[in-house]
Homo-oligomer: A and B are copies of this chain.
C-alpha cells in the first residue's frame, strides 16, 4: 500500500460522481463571445467557485468588466513551491448547430468519449485539477504544497478581464509555476508535456466600397468590387509557398534549435495519416519545414470567416457595399502582436486597390511562450503524468495560443507547465467536441500525483 492508496480509493469510488459533476458544468452554455449569455456565464463561474469551496479552498469571485474570475487557494505550505492552476469556464460558440449529432450542451457518452461543447476545451481538463485537490481533501491528506486556482471566463475571446486585473492581483497569484491543462496529448496513448505555445494576432478586415449595394448589371465593371478587393488583399498577404509578406514580419522570429527538430523527427509523425485524418488530399505550408514544425514553431496566416454581400439561397445581383474577413496570424516567440498589427496596417495601406477603403479592427492578441524543457518542475511533471497514464510523456510544443499565459509568466515571473489531457481530434472548436472518458480519469490521477512531485 502506497501513500496514495486513500486517494486512489477515493477516485475509484467516485468515478460516476466525477462524471456527473462534469456533465453539470457542461450543461451550462457559457459562450463568452455571445453577449446574450451573461446569465449562463455567471452560472458557470458560480458552479466552479462552489466546487472549489466544497473541496475546502478559500474561494472568491473577482469581478471585472466582463465575466468574473474564479480564484481559490489551499493553505500555504512554508518552504514548498506554490502552484497556480489556470483554466477557463467559457467555451467557443457551438455553431454550426446542424452538424452536431447531439445537442452541444446536453453532454452524452459516445464511443468512450464525453461529447459536448467544452468537454475538452476546457471544462473537462480544468476539472481534473479541481477534483484531484478534492480527492486529497476527502482522503484526509494535507496537500504537500499550496495550490491556487485561477479559472477565468474569457479565454475564448482574449482574456480581457484577466489582462486588466493582472497587475492588481499579481500578488495574490504569486507562484513558482503555473499548471495548465488546456491542450492535447501527442497522440492517443502517448501523453505529452508542452513547453511552447504560439501567440496570436487576430483582426477583422472590412473593405468598404460604394455607399450602398449597387445593381451589378448597371454598375458592374465600373467600380472596384469590395469582394474582389478583399480577395486580392488576402491573397497578397501570403505567398503560395507559405511566406507572409508583411514588412518585417520574420525579423523577431526565434529560429528552431537543431535539437528540437531532432526530438520531433523522432516522434515518427506520419504526414499521410495526418492528411487522411483531416480529410485533405495534400498537406501544404511554409517551404523548408516539416508538418510538426509548421504547426508548432512557425508563424502562419489564416482566414476564419468571410463576411458580406448576399448569402441567401439562389442569386442576387448586387455589388456589396462592403465585405469582410476574420483573420489571424499565429506567432512564435518573440513576435509581438502589437507589432504585427502595425505591420498589417502598413501592408494594407500599400496594397489597397483604388476605389475602396480598408478598415482593420483589432480583435485580440497574445504573445507566444516557450520554457526550458529540462527544468526541475518539468521533471516532476514527467513523473506525475507517467504515473497517471502509465506511459512516459514526450516533450512537444503546441500551435495554439493561450495569449494570457505569456502575460502571466511575465507578470508573475514564474515557470509554466502545459499538461494537456486532450487529443488532436477532439474538435475543440468544432461540432461534436469530445473528451476521452478514460483520459478524464487518468488526468485526475496524474494531477493528484503532480502536487507530490512538484513539492519534491
Residues of A within 8 A of B (CB): 33-35, 92-93, 95, 99, 157-158, 184, 198, 200, 202, 204, 209-228, 230-232, 234-235, 238, 240, 242, 274, 278-286, 291, 294-295, 298-320, 323, 325-326, 328, 330, 353-357, 363-364, 398-401, 424, 427-431
Contact = CB atoms under 8 A, between A and B. Distances in A.
A280 to B, nearest CB: 5
Given A281-B354, A304-B320, 14 more contacts: A33-B314, A93-B316, A157-B314, A210-B280, A211-B278, A213-B429, A216-B330, A218-B399, A220-B300, A220-B330, A221-B399, A227-B303, A309-B326, A315-B326
Nearest to A99: B212
Contact of A211 (B217, B279, B301): B279
A227 B305 contact: yes
Contact of A222 (B240, B295, B304): B295
A313 B400 contact: no
A14 B224 CA distance: 45
Contact of A304 (B224, B242, B291, B318): B318
Closest 7 interchain pairs by CB? A217-B400, A227-B303, A211-B279, A305-B309, A221-B300, A305-B310, A306-B306
A304 B310 contact: yes
A213 B430 contact: yes
Contacts of A223: 278, 280, 283-285
A364 B221 contact: no
A420 to B, nearest CB: 10
B222 A231 contact: no
Contacts of A213: 427, 429-431
B295 A304 contact: no
B328 A216 contact: yes
Given A158-B315, A209-B280, A222-B295, A227 B430 contact: no
Given A284-B224, A305-B309, A355-B281, A316 B429 contact: yes
A235 B238 contact: no
A360 to B, nearest CB: 14
Contacts of A231: 230-232, 234-235, 303
A451 to B, nearest CB: 28
A198 B212 contact: no
A227 B364 contact: no
B311 A307 contact: yes
A184 B217 CA distance: 12
A242 to B, nearest CB: 7
Contacts of A284: 222-224, 353-355
Nearest to A427: B212
Nearest to A283: B222
A295 B224 contact: no
